[in-house]
């Protein structure tokens, strides 16, 4: 037996026991007469002690052990004089009687401690060492726990886990596909799934009724902070359901996970906010409702009073920041700079503060009477001590900038506490999205999302006003999952493809298998998919998904540990009948 106990379990109650432990040397301290070693395994750290006076040979041996050596130690559990109450084993130590080196180690390139000295790139290159750090490991264990609880809940609800293929044909989630060349069929390619969307719908046609899968998906999108080319979804689909059935079922999943993983219980149903309302009150379709500070539209109230900026703007709106009336000129200038950042796109900021006596002072006092300003304070629900921040411009853009400003204010006010969770559903998304550049509509979700039956009549005349039974689960301002009720008849599906600019031939070529399947009695169905990496990160109080993936890619989409992507041999290219263009080779 390599070990009688782990490094995380011995306590005062074990005093006097003879034990054998095995693990890695985390740290060794040589205090003259005594040598101490912190021995680490997955379960914790136990202190080993060697006494120069009573056993000089053993102590010498211990002193030679380097960091990350793998050792086996046998000894007696004893009460420590210098206790460390921060760790479960901190009241005991092992008086070692025998120590064997099971393996040596090169000096690791960074310290294996919570606050390591290793930079990101180095830690990714030696990810297996990074994963030895307790905080990183606990993220991966949290992910495991989430996966187990997802399976437990969904299995309990009668869902069947079915695997779907990875070498498939292009799927329509709107991103670029990763493709895999075929050796057997030169010139032909598989695509890696952006999601199992079409397969889960086929499983509904096949009568599986309730499906789920914790599944890898692949999207070749532009690099962005914290985006992974491969990521994991909890993918689900159900038959013979209405939207409410799906929301209730998966609200149940969310509650189960919050309870089992975080010990949290939510009173009452999660709020369900229509998309249009989310946009007008929060300036985004993923509102963070841990705090209020909603947007108030002021367009009409401020028009025609002689302030050109507001008079000419198609939209004027404001947020009211509680208790910020005392903010300095400099702080407000910083906010103005913030909204002017190109990615926010605001032109500027007008402010008004509600003084202690209820009067309102503003940066536009010249144009507005005390009554006008009092009305703005009233409309925005502001009280004495609040700071009103007003923006004007084109509707959508201004709302989105106000939404960003709202988040920024909350950040500055410490209202985005990662230990507080505020889940909600956003419902009634538009079916389509107009793209100015290509002058056509795109599916807001994907082309299998059903239009609301009452809106089908506008599909050909006014597609922009068609809403869908599509919904997102949002937690703390992050979209955690999204889904929809699907089209299940070939006519509506063809109409949808037509609206998206597919010719009948193109639709048949790309999705003929689905259109055909729909001719054999497709049941009404719908589903949802959750971003598993992101949900886990949020449950871990973080917004960095990379920390919750055992072997992630860096933000250049590279795995620097295994060094990929990388070139392949000429023979492989020949077999695949592929030529690499010179330009790409030189880059």
User: Which residues contact ligand ASP by CB under 6 A?
Assistant: 173, 195, 197, 446, 482-484, 527-529
Distance CA 317, CA 395 (A): 9
* The Cα angle at residue 43 between residues 37 and 49, in degrees rounded to 5: 20
**Which tokens go with 582?**
């010179």
Please say which residue, 316 or 443, places its beta carbon nearer to ligand ASP: 443
CB of 528 to ligand ASP, least distance (A): 5
CB of 242 to ligand ASP, least distance (A): 16
Please say which residue, 164 or 197, places its beta carbon nearer to ligand ASP: 197
CB of 343 to ligand ASP, least distance (A): 24
Please say which residue, 451 or 482, places its beta carbon nearer to ligand ASP: 482
**Which tokens go with 24?**
């890695």
243 near 526, Cβ under 8 Å? Answer: yes
CB of 98 to ligand ASP, least distance (A): 56
467 DSSP β-pair partners: 430
CB of 194 to ligand ASP, least distance (A): 7
CB of 482 to ligand ASP, least distance (A): 5
DSSP code, position 417: -
Please say which residue, 403 or 527, places its beta carbon nearer to ligand ASP: 527
Question: In angstroms, how far is CA 197 from the centroid of its own chain?
Answer: 20
Please say which residue, 197 or 510, places its beta carbon nearer to ligand ASP: 197
Please say which residue, 14 or 433, places its beta carbon nearer to ligand ASP: 433
CB of 447 to ligand ASP, least distance (A): 11
Please say which residue, 346 or 482, places its beta carbon nearer to ligand ASP: 482
Please say which residue, 387 or 426, places its beta carbon nearer to ligand ASP: 426
Among 533, 573, 531, which residue's Cα sits nearest to residue 553?
A: 533
Please say which residue, 482 or 540, places its beta carbon nearer to ligand ASP: 482
Distance CA 349, CA 212 (A): 48
What does each C-alpha distance from 260 to 152, 248, 288, 309, 547 come to in angstroms?
Answer: 11, 18, 23, 53, 21
CB of 200 to ligand ASP, least distance (A): 7
Distance CA 444, CA 484 (A): 11
Please say which residue, 346 or 447, places its beta carbon nearer to ligand ASP: 447
CB of 150 to ligand ASP, least distance (A): 15
- Residue count of the chain: 587
66 near 26, Cβ under 8 Å? Answer: no
Please say which residue, 46 or 484, places its beta carbon nearer to ligand ASP: 484
Distance CA 585, CA 567 (A): 9
* The Cα angle at residue 136 between residues 130 and 141, in degrees rounded to 5: 130
- State the CB neighbour count (10 A cutoff) for residue 317: 25
Q: Where are the beta strands (DSSP E) in 377-431?
A: 387-393, 423-427
CB of 173 to ligand ASP, least distance (A): 5
CB of 235 to ligand ASP, least distance (A): 7
CB of 421 to ligand ASP, least distance (A): 22
525 near 204, Cβ under 8 Å? Answer: yes
Please say which residue, 194 or 382, places its beta carbon nearer to ligand ASP: 194
Please say which residue, 89 or 171, places its beta carbon nearer to ligand ASP: 171
Which residues touch 482 (CB under 8 Å, ≥6 apart)? 445, 470, 471, 472, 473, 528, 529
CB of 529 to ligand ASP, least distance (A): 4
**Which tokens go with 455?**
């809106």
Distance CA 136, CA 88 (A): 19
- Bridge-based pairing state of the strands 44-51 and 92-103: parallel
**Which tokens go with 227?**
């985006």
501 DSSP β-pair partners: none
DSSP code, position 548: G
Q: Is 446 left (phi over 0), alpha (psi -120 to 50) or beta?
A: beta
510 near 504, Cβ under 8 Å? Answer: no
Question: In angstroms, how far is CA 177 from the centroid of its own chain?
Answer: 21
CB of 271 to ligand ASP, least distance (A): 21
523 near 513, Cβ under 8 Å? Answer: no
| Unique residue bearing structure tokens 């490094």 | 7
Among 104, 49, 449, 114, which residue's Cα sits nearest to residue 275?
A: 449
């Amino acid at each position: 037996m390599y070990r009688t106990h782990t490094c995380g379990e011995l306590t005062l109650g074990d005093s006097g026991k003879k034990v054998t432990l095995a693990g890695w040397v985390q740290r060794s301290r040589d205090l003259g007469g005594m040598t101490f070693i912190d021995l680490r395994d997955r379960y914790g750290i136990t202190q080993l002690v060697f006494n120069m006076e009573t056993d000089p040979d053993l102590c010498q041996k211990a002193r030679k052990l380097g960091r990350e050596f793998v050792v086996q130690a046998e000894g007696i559990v004893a009460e420590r004089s210098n206790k460390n109450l921060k760790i479960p084993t901190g009241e005991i130590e092992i008086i070692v009687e025998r120590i064997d080196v099971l393996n040596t180690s090169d000096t690791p390139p960074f310290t294996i401690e919570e606050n390591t000295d290793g930079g990101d790139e180095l830690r990714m290159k030696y990810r297996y060492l990074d994963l030895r750090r307790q905080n990183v490991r606990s993220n991966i264990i949290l992910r495991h726990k989430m996966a187990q609880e997802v399976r437990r809940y969904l299995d309990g609800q009668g869902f069947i886990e079915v695997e779907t293929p990875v070498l498939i044909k292009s799927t329509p989630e709107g991103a670029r596909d990763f493709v895999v060349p075929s050796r057997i069929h030169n010139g032909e390619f598989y695509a890696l799934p952006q999601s199992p969307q079409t397969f889960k719908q086929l499983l509904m046609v096949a009568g599986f009724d309730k499906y789920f899968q914790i599944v890898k998906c692949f999207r070749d999108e532009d690099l962005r902070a914290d985006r992974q080319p491969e990521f994991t979804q909890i993918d689900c689909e159900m038959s013979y359901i209405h939207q409410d059935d799906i929301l209730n079922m998966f609200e149940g999943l969310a509650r189960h996970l919050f309870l089992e993983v975080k010990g949290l219980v939510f009173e009452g149903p999660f709020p369900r906010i229509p998309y249009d309302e989310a946009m007008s009150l929060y300036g985004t379709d993923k509102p963070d409702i841990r705090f209020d500070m909603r947007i108030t539209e002021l367009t009409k109230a401020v028009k025609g009073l002689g302030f050109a900026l507001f008079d000419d703007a198609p939209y004027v709106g404001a947020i009211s920041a509680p208790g910020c009336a005392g903010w300095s000129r400099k702080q407000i200038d910083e906010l103005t700079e913030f909204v002017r950042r190109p990615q926010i796109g605001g032109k500027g900021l007008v402010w008004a503060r509600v003084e202690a006596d209820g009067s309102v002072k503003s940066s536009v006092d010249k144009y507005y009477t005390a009554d006008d300003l009092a009305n703005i304070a009233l409309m925005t629900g502001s009280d004495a001590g609040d700071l009103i921040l007003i923006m004007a411009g084109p509707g959508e853009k201004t709302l989105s900038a106000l939404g960003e400003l709202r988040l920024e204010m909350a950040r500055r006010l410490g209202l985005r506490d990662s230990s507080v969770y505020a889940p909600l559903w956003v419902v009634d998304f538009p079916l389509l999205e107009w793209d100015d550049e290509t002058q056509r509509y795109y599916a807001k979700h994907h082309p299998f999302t059903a239009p609301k039956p009452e809106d089908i009549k506008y599909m050909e005349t006014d597609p922009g006003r068609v809403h869908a039974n599509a919904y997102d689960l949002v937690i703390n301002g992050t979209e955690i999952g999204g889904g929809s009720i699907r089209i299940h008849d070939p006519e509506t599906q063809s109409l949808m493809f037509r609206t998206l600019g597919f010719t009948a031939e193109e639709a048949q070529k790309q999705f003929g298998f689905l259109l055909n399947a729909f001719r054999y009695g497709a049941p009404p169905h719908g589903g949802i998919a959750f971003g598993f990496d992101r949900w886990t990160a949020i449950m871990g109080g973080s917004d960095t998904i990379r920390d919750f993936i055992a072997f992630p890619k860096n933000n250049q989409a590279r795995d620097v540990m295994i060094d990929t992507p990388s070139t392949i041999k000429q023979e492989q290219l020949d077999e695949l009948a592929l030529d690499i263009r010179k330009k790409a080779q030189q880059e």
